[in-house]
Structures are given as C-alpha cells and as structure tokens.
Amino acid sequence: MNKQTNNLAIYQKYMELIYYTNDLVKKFPKSETFALVKEIKTTMYAGMRVLIYAIKAYRLQDKLKHLNEFDVNLSLFKVFIRLSYKYQYISNKNYSFWSSLVTDICNMLGGWINSCQKK
C-alpha cells in the first residue's frame, strides 16, 4: 500500500469514527451535553484538524509533530470512551465497537509514525 492510500485509509477510518460518535452521543443524558459530549466532540474535531495537517504537511518534521498531536487526541478520546462506559451512557456492545474503531486508527497511526521515522 503506498503512502497516499495509507493516509486515505486512516482518514476514512477517522470519518467512520466521527459518524459513529455523533450517532452515539445523541443518546447521552442531556446533563452531559455541555460536559462530556462537548469534550468528546471538541477532541474529535481537533483530531480531524490535526490529521488533515499531517496529511498535508510537506516537511517530515512537521508531519511527525502533527502525528504526535493526533496520537495525544486519540489517547484523550480513549479516556472519554472509558468514562462513557463507566457512567453507563453506552452499552458493552457500543464500548467494544467504539474502542475497536479507535484501536484500528491507533494501529494505522503507529505504522505511519514508524514509516516517517525510518526516512
């Protein structure tokens, strides 16, 4: 798989995460609309912004900076998923699927970071 295809794959997977997340947080209690839901959405869209910066970056140093920032966003996202499950805003099935989406993206990101570091 070439670099452009790999970047597109992580972008598509992240879009899938956005769609799923937006559908899921609609079911959260209204009391969480301006708390956890807001944090989830802010982190999610910030992650998309950083991902696009990484895809568009020409200098390897800039690309790695954005990829590392994206990694931090994904780590934050994992915390929000765990909190959502702990407070029983999502089912076990939702937790498993949501976590697997983020894990897939993390694995793709790890491969991308490794390929950049080998250059």
The string of pLDDT tens digits covering residues 21-39 is: 999 999 999 999 899 999 9
| HSE (side-chain half, CA atoms, 13 Å) at 84 | 31
* Nearest by Cα to 24 from 71, 76, 84, 102: 84
- Global pTM? 0.91
Torsion of CA 83, 105, 17, 97, to 10 degrees: -60
Range of the domain at 20: 3-117
Number of domains within the chain: 1
Residue 79's CATH number:
1.20.1440.60
Angle, vertex CA 55, rays to CA 52 and CA 56, nearest 5: 85
The mean per-residue pLDDT over the stretch 53-76 comes to 96
